[in-house]
Amino acid sequence: MGAWPDWLNVIQLKARYLFGLWVLGALILFMPDFLAQRLHVITIRTEYGRWIGVGTLGCFAFWLVALLPLFEKQLTRRKRLGYLVNALAALSVRENALLAYCVSRRRHTVLLPDGSLEGNIAAGLCQKGLMVMAGGKVNMFAVPYTIPDEVWGIILSNEQRWLPRDDRERTAMDTYFAEVDTFADGQEGVIP
């Protein structure tokens, strides 16, 4: 036995168990007398009501404390999504074009030459948290960059933003896409 009594292990229970204990204690304490008599809990409530009340209140307090990290995690996720949406809205033309390339090819990993203009653009997207450098090099001159799943989901939810709107844009994007496709010694610029 440690420094704490064994009954204090209730603190380590998951939030759903604490909530269940809280509801059970509240039902026993606040159940109408006629129902408590039918369920044969009236004697338990009268003899141990104070202890049930303290335990119920403790379970409620520990349940609230167990929910705080969940709320904090949800808030952090929402802030991150807001940041990503704002970052996607404030991209340069070349950054938009690189992401449009990925959308048009339905791939979220693109192979770019190290030190090239497009590689630098991808590195800038990495700084914004919109891309990550994938592990390793495919060859001595090319580096794979990947769009994280979270960002990819946001991009695909508004896919029309990335695709050309008219023939002039389509022609310009096709030219750019052909240029990106020729990276890495004539290999396709995307890793399957």
**Does the structure show a pLDDT above 50 at 186?**
no
pLDDT of residue 188: 43
Convert the pLDDT of each residue in 70-90 to its tens digit. Answer: 899 999 989 988 888 888 888
Quick check: 96 and 118 in contact, CB under 8 A? no
Supply the pTM of this predicted model. Answer: 0.61
**Does the structure show a pLDDT above 80 at 6?**
no
The token pair at 49 is 């009501």
The token pair at 127 is 């700084």
pLDDT of residue 8: 64
Convert the pLDDT of each residue in 15-31 to its tens digit. Answer: 888 888 889 999 989 99
**Does the structure show a pLDDT above 70 at 93?**
yes
Q: Domains, the chain, ranges and CATH?
A: 6-87 (no CATH), 91-181 (1.10.10.10)
**Does the structure show a pLDDT above 60 at 179?**
yes
d(CA 45, CA 52): 8
The pLDDT confidence band at residue 2, using thresholds 50, 70 and 90, is low
Residue that has been written with the tokens 């003899």 in this structure: 47
pLDDT of residue 98: 87
- Pick the closest to residue 46 from 61, 28, 69, 65 (CA basis): 28
Angstrom CA distances, 110 to 75, 96, 145, stand at: 31, 14, 5
Q: End-to-end CA distance of the chain, in Å? A: 56
d(CA 142, CA 131): 16
d(CA 9, CA 15): 13
